Structure 1
Amino acid sequence: MFIRALVSLVMVSLVTGQLTAGDTCFHERLQKSGVCMLPEQCLDALEDLMQAKRPQLCSYGINSPIVCCPIPKKDAIGDKSANKCADYAKLVYITYETPLLSISNRNLTRDECGIKSNPLMVRGNDAFVKELPHMVAIGYEDAVGRKVFECSGSLISDQFVLTAAHCLHTRQFGDAKYARFGDLDLKDTNDGAYPQEYRVEERIAHPDYKSPSRYHDLALLKLERAVLFNAYVRPICLNSRRVIESEKAIFSGWGIGYGNEKNRLRRFTTSLMSTEDCQKRYPDTRKLYRSGITDDWQFCATSRSDQTGLCNAHAGGPLQVHNEEQYCMYSLIGVTSLGNICGSANLPGVYTRVSHYLDWIEKTVWP
């Protein structure tokens, strides 16, 4: 009734013929295509009415006028990811109150960036505190209920983790059940990190993934509740460009190396390589890649010859490059599908290309 009362105040308005609800129309003022509907169903019409403006009418209905409601512009693929990336970059700065006895009563801002050096000059060391706040360790349960971490992932929103589809379920440990954030060492609790851990509520494989093939090896984990963002836990940006301009990238994960190092979060510089060169190094890929390495969905990267410790790394982990547009942010370009073979720099890692699946990711995470 309130809406209809408002409509009566601005009833003298442009009428687009005698169109009925559901017909298409053209909004003259906004120069957009539209659909005829009741005023209470159209956000633009409600805003006009609240400001005593005249909505464009399609016709005068029996009980209510029918308005021409402009169709919102559809977001291009990647727009949502770019907007979220800009929001996440703001989390690098922490605002805090000054002490009561301080001369200034203003709030201060502190830079919490954990990247200590040029991201592409990394030589395979342990990760710094707050350097990779998007890293996720994916946990399972063994036969006696103990947690084991067999895969990695990347935090991309407050409730979703991006990982490899073959990590959703393992033959030995069953379904993925836990996601741990903000940790540096899966065994050491005195490493300066402040980990958070959440249960997995839903496991969503890409609809085109068919095991045992590794094509479309991508999945989302939905968490039981929203993650608490802080200096140690923050989402990564998603790469939307088909062409990756950088020749090098950063691979990170737990389990890179031998012995006691297997629980440490580490990162290495890798070199991107062409699909043709990658295919030559995999003489028999019929089981995992029946049609070979497919450039549209995948790409390859390899470590330097002196980095043969790049092995046994958790699948599902990120391959990332420095984001040139947002301060202290990485962009996720690939998800580890098949890691480097232990002790060999000859066989490269195979990564699922994130940009190819951006439409599916955005529709699932930010519907």
Structure 2
Amino acid sequence: MKWFTSIFIYLALISAAAIAFSTDFINGRIIGGQEAQRGQFPFQAALRINVTDRPTFSTCGGSLIAPDYTLTAAHCVLIKDVMNIEVHLGAHEILNIEEEGRLRVVVQPENFFAHKDYNSRSIVNDIALLKFDQKVTFTDRIQPIALPSWSDVNVDFEGKIVVASGWGRYSDDVQGISPVLRYAETPVESQRICMHYYQNYEIVTDSNICIYTGVGKGTCNGDSGGPLTYTDENGRKIIVGLTSFGSDIGCVEPGWPSVFTRITSFLDWIEENSDIKINP
């Protein structure tokens, strides 16, 4: 990759697709990862964003955090003329609409709650909630992911192994989405190093968490809104990030971190905009 390639910041709402799920998944990719086992990520959601008077739609990732709430990125819901968002839970084979154990929940715009201070230029506060009209029933394929506790607020997770998951393209050589859910494990990058790479844009802040891509693993163009998870010392999985943005000079150009919304920076916002209570 030529280093003089002009660098710009992508959000993942790039792709438009045909009426079925047989389309690009936001041009998102889980790079250098592997296929998940069925039910390995029961909190994983696929979002289909339907727009009024268009035969096409966009897609994002999300995470089930309660029986009636999915967490995603603000830029996934703040779309002009959005009609509704379909939240697909329990999916593994993304193209298989009739997949056993899968549930589709349709969310109307009045139940989209994007952060009021989200800024599409600086990409700050890139977080949103989708509220369901009815609570879903949990199964072995549909389970919520735990949120961080208040005691985690000052934890930076630097060096900890985290997992990004989604259905995005997993190689520049592959066209279209992955037909199955994939994931990649990689360490959390130093905040100082992440800020250094993006210093010309002044968009990485303490409310972001970044992952190291020097091992050839990461996200590229998104799986926007999808989860970044960490397994604590008690074996409990918690969501620590939402896929937000990265550099567009290549999928895992060594060094350039993928950037996520840091969940611990928004625990108060989650409590204020839902009936979810954060653990001490």
65, 73, 87: which one aligns with 1:156: 65
**Residue matched to 1:285:** 201
Separation in structure 2 between the aligned mates of residue 283 and residue 294 of structure 1, nearest angstrom: 10
Aligned counterparts, 1:262-281, within 5 A: 262-281=178-197
Q: Does the residue aligned with 1:220 lie in a helix, a strand or coil?
A: strand
TM-score, with length taken from structure 1: 0.58
Deviation at 1:348, TM superposition (A): 1.1
Deviations 1:70-125 (A, max 9, x none): xxxxxxxxxxxxxxxxxxxxxxxxxxxxxxxxxxxxxxxxxxxxxxxxxxxxx611
321, 330, 333: which one aligns with 2:237: 330
Separation in structure 1 between the aligned mates of residue 56 and residue 101 of structure 2, nearest angstrom: 18
Query: Which structure is larger by alpha-carbon Rg, 1 or 2?
Result: 1
Residues 1:305 and 2:240 are matched in the alignment: no
Separation in structure 2 between the aligned mates of residue 320 and residue 137 of structure 1, nearest angstrom: 16
- Indicate the RMSD between aligned Cα atoms, in angstroms: 2.6
Deviations 1:169-218 (A, max 9, x none): 335x735511110111221357x652101011311012322333311111
Residues 1:188 and 2:101 are matched in the alignment: no
Residues 1:214 and 2:123 are matched in the alignment: yes
Aligned counterparts, 1:58-73, within 5 A: none
Q: Does the residue aligned with 1:150 lie in a helix, a strand or coil?
A: strand
The one-letter code of the counterpart of 1:303 is T
User: Conserved in 2, the CA contact under 8 Å of 1:251 and 1:319?
Assistant: yes
The one-letter code of the counterpart of 2:115 is H
71, 78, 82: which one aligns with 1:174: 82
Separation in structure 1 between the aligned mates of residue 224 and residue 164 of structure 2, nearest angstrom: 11
Which structure 1 residue ranges, 5 or more long, are not aligned?
Answer: 1-122
Q: Does the residue aligned with 1:365 lie in a helix, a strand or coil?
A: coil
Q: Does the residue aligned with 2:268 lie in a helix, a strand or coil?
A: helix
96, 105, 109: which one aligns with 1:198: 105
Q: Whose RCO is larger (CA < 8 A, sep 6+)?
A: 2
Give the percent of matched residue pairs that are identical in Structure 1 and Structure 2: 29
314, 320, 345: which one aligns with 2:223: 314
Separation in structure 2 between the aligned mates of residue 311 and residue 178 of structure 1, nearest angstrom: 23
User: Conserved in 2, the CA contact under 8 Å of 1:271 and 1:304?
Assistant: no
Deviations 1:216-254 (A, max 9, x none): 111101123211210000000011312144522101112
User: Conserved in 1, the CA contact under 8 Å of 2:51 and 2:84?
Assistant: no
- More displaced stretch, 143-152 vs 348-357: 143-152
Residues 1:234 and 2:143 are matched in the alignment: yes
Residues 1:125 and 2:41 are matched in the alignment: no
CA 1:316 to 1:175, structure 2 compared with 1: closer, same or farther past 3 Å?
A: farther
Deviation at 1:144, TM superposition (A): 6.3
Q: Does the residue aligned with 2:63 lie in a helix, a strand or coil?
A: strand
Q: Does the residue aligned with 2:107 lie in a helix, a strand or coil?
A: strand
Separation in structure 2 between the aligned mates of residue 154 and residue 197 of structure 1, nearest angstrom: 14
Q: Does the residue aligned with 1:228 lie in a helix, a strand or coil?
A: coil
Q: Does the residue aligned with 1:359 lie in a helix, a strand or coil?
A: helix
Deviation at 1:165, TM superposition (A): 0.7
TM-score, with length taken from structure 2: 0.74
User: Conserved in 2, the CA contact under 8 Å of 1:270 and 1:304?
Assistant: no
Deviations 1:256-312 (A, max 9, x none): 4232543432110122112221122124315xx2xxx212x112112243337x423
Q: Does the residue aligned with 1:166 lie in a helix, a strand or coil?
A: helix
The one-letter code of the counterpart of 2:238 is S
The one-letter code of the counterpart of 1:294 is T
- More displaced stretch, 177-186 vs 241-250: 241-250
CA 1:346 to 1:129, structure 2 compared with 1: closer, same or farther past 3 Å?
A: same
CA 1:305 to 1:323, structure 2 compared with 1: closer, same or farther past 3 Å?
A: closer
Q: Which has the higher helix share?
A: 1
Deviation at 1:365, TM superposition (A): 2.2
The one-letter code of the counterpart of 2:48 is G
